[in-house]
Amino acid sequence: MKTVEVAVQRDHLQRLTQGGNPVTAIAELIWNGLDADADEVSVEFERNILGGLETILVVDNGHGMTDDEVEQGFGKLGGSWKRTAGRTKTEGRIVHGKDGKGRFRAFGLGHSVAWDSVAERNGVHERLVVTSNIDELGRFRIEDPRDVGDEETGTSVIVNQIREKLPEIDTNDFAEELAEEFALYLRKYPHVVILYGERKLDPSRFEVQVTDYALPEMDLDGEEVADVVVTVVEWRRQTTRSIYLCDADGFTITRVAPHIHAPGFHYTVYVKSHFLRKLEDENLLDLIELKPGPKQLLEVVKDQLRDHFRQRAAEKAREVVELWKEEEIYPYEGDPATPIERAERQVFDVVAINVASYVPRFDETDRASKQLSFRLLRQALEENPKTLRKILGDVLGLPKEKLDELARLLDRTSLTAVIAAAKEVADRLDFLRGLDILLFRPGTKEELLERSQLHRILASETWVFGEQFYLSVDDQSLTEVLRKHLDILRRETDETKANNIIEADLPEVLRGDGSRGIIDLMMSRRIPQPNERRREHLVIELKRPTQAINMSITTQVRRYLRAIAGDERFKHTNTEWNFWAISNRVTEEVAFEMEDKEAGLLKTYSDPLMRIYVRTWGEVLEECRARLTFFQNHQKYTADDESALTYLNQTHAKYLPDSLYDGSDNGTNEDDED
């Protein structure tokens, strides 16, 4: 008998045994068996006469541990042979562990742990037993090895004195979670068997579809990485949505939440690359969402996932329609001959799929009834709103007044237009609510950046500043402002001074100090008048929520204005220029300088007509909501945080700050969006 002790602080070892998912501890013990070239690993549970869990056994038929290996492996934390070997000793499989932490995680299951191992040394099979308990954490007693004849090699880990607060782990849910953990390994080594109680872990039983994507080569922190493979496994069961970050051979290093929106899908994602192993070896993997290169990789992966689930959603819809065609209940034949027919069919598919989803026991209805329902629905959508009114009244039980409103509306417009208009209003309400969260929620507003986030989001949502404008310039210099201005003149007039300017030779427009000014956004419109055409340019200067509009910022805007006013190419073109500086608040010094505080007007100039406005986001958002109030009241749609975050993730996910997800559920209800 001898004793070895781990030369590390006890509190560090205790952290390895506390908290976390017990599945992680069991998985570590299974991995130890697989790293010992086991073809079979079983997890068994022994209960007392009252049904309480008394013992957990993890048994493998690997090559076991010799006396020398035990002393080396149990005597220190880190520096495991696996770190340098990379592959198992006999079969050359890729190894999983490398830090020697797995044996300590066993104490997260029970207070007493024993390792009973048989190994071959010098042609002799020897057994030795290693024991320890939570009170002597870090100290292991090793019995002297003894000859056991031709007994098979392998190791049994026996966990006793089960922790009181340990959840019921002998369940299907735990077995299926383990199946996710070992999905890629079992796919790579199909001869390996893992038993959990009486259940054989077989991820393929729960898989709906497995899809691999080889990502294009990318530059990550100056290294050309060309071996990134993304495997998306879709499950039949509800699961915790996760992205497993793996080395090039598919062995899990850590996992992160995906934060993408994929309603109706239960999935696990495996990202494989040597780059991830390199990050782990450099202790940088925990910073994957902060470091530029790793963060870029994660964003590319998420973009691929969004594309994947958009395609899968479309496939699901097509699959349902194809099934209806096979059942001969689909009311259309052949392919649509015109764009109008195609649009009509798309509207029918949307309505019919929703009807099939919400009508109780629709799938159990006989074929003739389904066929009749679909024919009536098609006729109602295309020709007869009164028929649709009757169908909706009988099936959905809508009150008579609502059915009358719908019928009158469908008499005047197409259902496609109704759906499009309603969706646009709902999307805009969701965006306003989401923008409110980004700009005013503590934690998020501090992280929101001007150019890389707020600017990029608003560049595609310019309706916020007025329906009458169209985007002319996005994050461009004053010279580009002039170029776009002249383009507008060229399209709208025959003025020779605009037509004669050659863009290739266009001199730069500079501010008074000789520097180049960069405009965030410029929008333009033509103002109809009886005898002449007037143009209006709206120039937006965006500031992050934490940056108040102060005198320095108004001075910057004045410089832009002076550069334009001082350049003769902008003069005498019948154009108005309005400059808006926008942030969450305005300093008292700036407010004192305003010509009209109620209108937010700071200063007015002439020749050309120019105005500087100082606006707060509270004012801008309130004006937008006022414009949408009529539609909102009649549509009975109220945007909430969930719908707002869903819209932001679907439309602007790559520009959102990380703090937006703080506290979100990593499971099936994430905004992932999710």
Could you report the per-residue pLDDT of 413-460, keeping only the tens digit for each? 455 455 455 667 777 888 888 888 888 888 888 887 776 788 778 777
Q: What is the dihedral of CA 279, 282, 287, 289, to 10 degrees?
A: -20
Tell me the CATH number at 128: 3.30.565.10
Give the model's pLDDT for residue 228: 92
* Together in a domain, 100 and 15: yes
Peptide bond preceding 657 in cis form (omega within 30 of 0): no
Residue 235's φ and ψ, nearest 5 degrees, are: -110, 155
Work out the average pLDDT over 557-577. 72
- Is 49 inside any structural domain? yes
Give the model's pLDDT for residue 290: 75
* Together in a domain, 401 and 449: no
* Together in a domain, 478 and 511: yes
Work out the average pLDDT over 487-491. 52
Give the model's pLDDT for residue 301: 92
- pLDDT at 218 exceeding the cut of 50: yes
Give the model's pLDDT for residue 59: 95
Q: Which amino acid does the sequence have at 262?
A: A
- pLDDT at 511 exceeding the cut of 50: no
Distance, CA of 644 to CA of 648 (rounded, Å): 6
Tell which wins on pLDDT, 307 or 74. 307
Give the model's pLDDT for residue 653: 77
* Together in a domain, 401 and 274: no
Question: Are the CB atoms for 130 and 142 separated by under 8 Å?
Answer: yes
Question: Are the CB atoms for 574 and 534 separated by under 8 Å?
Answer: yes
Beta bridge partners of 53: 47
Give the model's pLDDT for residue 664: 42
Comparing C-alpha atoms, which of 190, 231, 227, 188 is closest to residue 207?
231
Report, in angstroms and rounded to the nearest whole number, the Rg of the chain calculated over CA atoms.
33
Residue 638's φ and ψ, nearest 5 degrees, are: -120, 120
- pLDDT at 279 exceeding the cut of 60: yes
Give the model's pLDDT for residue 389: 58
* Together in a domain, 345 and 398: yes
Distance, CA of 399 to CA of 407 (rounded, Å): 13
Give the model's pLDDT for residue 656: 75
* Together in a domain, 406 and 451: no
Give the model's pLDDT for residue 305: 92
Give the model's pLDDT for residue 115: 92
Per-residue tokens: 246: 């793996």
Summarised one tens digit per residue, pLDDT across range 39-67 is 999 999 999 888 889 999 999 999 998 88
Peptide bond preceding 674 in cis form (omega within 30 of 0): yes
Percent share of the chain, pLDDT over 70 = 70
| Residues recorded for the chain | 674
Tell which wins on pLDDT, 225 or 404. 225
Work out the average pLDDT over 644-657. 77
Per-residue tokens: 628: 């949408």
- Is 417 inside any structural domain? no
Query: 126-158 as b/e, with b when 16 or more CB fall inside 10 Å?
Result: bbbbbbbbbeebbebbbbebeeeeeeebbbbbb
Work out the average pLDDT over 484-495. 50
Q: Which amino acid does the sequence have at 505?
A: D
* Together in a domain, 251 and 126: no
Q: Which of 362, 396, 412 delimits the end of a domain?
A: 412
Most confident of 52-66, 227-241, 300-314: 52-66
Summarised one tens digit per residue, pLDDT across range 92-149 is 777 775 555 667 788 888 889 999 999 998 889 999 999 988 888 778 888 988 998 8
Give the model's pLDDT for residue 135: 83
Question: Are the CB atoms for 583 and 545 separated by under 8 Å?
Answer: yes
Of 190-194, 235-239, 352-356, 535-539, the poorest mean pLDDT is in: 352-356
Give the distance, in angstroms, between the CA of residue 404 and the centroid of all CA atoms in the same chain.
42
Of 33-47, 101-115, 223-237, 583-597, the poorest mean pLDDT is in: 101-115
Give the model's pLDDT for residue 539: 82
Number of domains into which the chain is organized:
4
- Is 148 inside any structural domain? yes
- pLDDT at 214 exceeding the cut of 90: yes
* Together in a domain, 257 and 231: yes
Question: Are the CB atoms for 520 and 540 separated by under 8 Å?
Answer: yes
Alpha-carbon distances of 239 from 23, 524, 557, rounded to whole Å? 14, 49, 52
Q: 459 is in which domain, residue-wise? A: 444-622
Give the model's pLDDT for residue 215: 92
E strands, 528-648, in order: 534-542, 575-583, 601-605, 609-616
- Contacts of residue 665, defined as CB under 8 A and 6 or more positions apart, other chains included, come to none
* Together in a domain, 291 and 336: no
Work out the average pLDDT over 351-360. 62
Per-residue tokens: 547: 């940056």
Q: Which of 603, 622, 641 delimits the end of a domain?
A: 622
- Is 392 inside any structural domain? yes
Query: 391-423 as b/e, with b when 16 or more CB fall inside 10 Å?
Result: bbbeeeeeeeeebeebbeebeeeebeeeeeeee
Q: Name the band, by pLDDT with cuts 50, 70 and 90, for residue 22.
A: confident
Residue 132's φ and ψ, nearest 5 degrees, are: -165, 170
> For helices 478-492 and 551-565, what crossing angle results, to 10°?
50
Q: For 498-522, give the secondary structure using H, E and C.
A: HHCCCHHHCCCCCCCCCCCCEEEEE
Give the model's pLDDT for residue 117: 92
Q: Which of 196, 229, 262 delimits the end of a domain?
A: 196
Residue by residue, DSSP assigns 100-161 as S-HHHHGGGTEEEEEEEEEEEETTEEEEEEEEEEGGGTTEEEEPPPEE-TTPPPEEEEEEEE
> For helices 415-440 and 641-652, what crossing angle results, to 10°?
100
- Is 627 inside any structural domain? no
Per-residue tokens: 352: 């019919």
Note the helical H segments in 289-443.
292-326, 339-358, 367-382, 385-396, 400-412, 415-440
* Together in a domain, 192 and 214: no
Distance, CA of 296 to CA of 548 (rounded, Å): 31
Give the model's pLDDT for residue 495: 42
DSSP helix/strand/coil, 394? helix
Distance, CA of 176 to CA of 196 (rounded, Å): 10
Give the model's pLDDT for residue 163: 86
* Together in a domain, 167 and 212: no
* Together in a domain, 370 and 460: no
Residue 288's φ and ψ, nearest 5 degrees, are: -60, -30
Question: Are the CB atoms for 671 and 448 separated by under 8 Å?
Answer: no
Residue by residue, DSSP assigns 627-647 as HHHHHHHHHT----HHHHHHH
The pLDDT mean for the chain works out to: 75
Question: Are the CB atoms for 546 and 552 separated by under 8 Å?
Answer: no
- Is 237 inside any structural domain? yes
Percent share of the chain, pLDDT over 90 = 12
- Contacts of residue 220, defined as CB under 8 A and 6 or more positions apart, other chains included, come to 275, 293, 294, 296, 297
- pLDDT at 212 exceeding the cut of 90: yes
Beta bridge partners of 142: 2, 130
Distance, CA of 538 to CA of 615 (rounded, Å): 13
Stated as kind and residue range, the H or E segment containing 74 is helix 67-74
- Is 23 inside any structural domain? yes
- Is 431 inside any structural domain? no
Most confident of 319-333, 562-576, 658-672: 319-333
Measured from the Cβ of residue 318, the count of other Cβ atoms closer than 10 Å reads 11
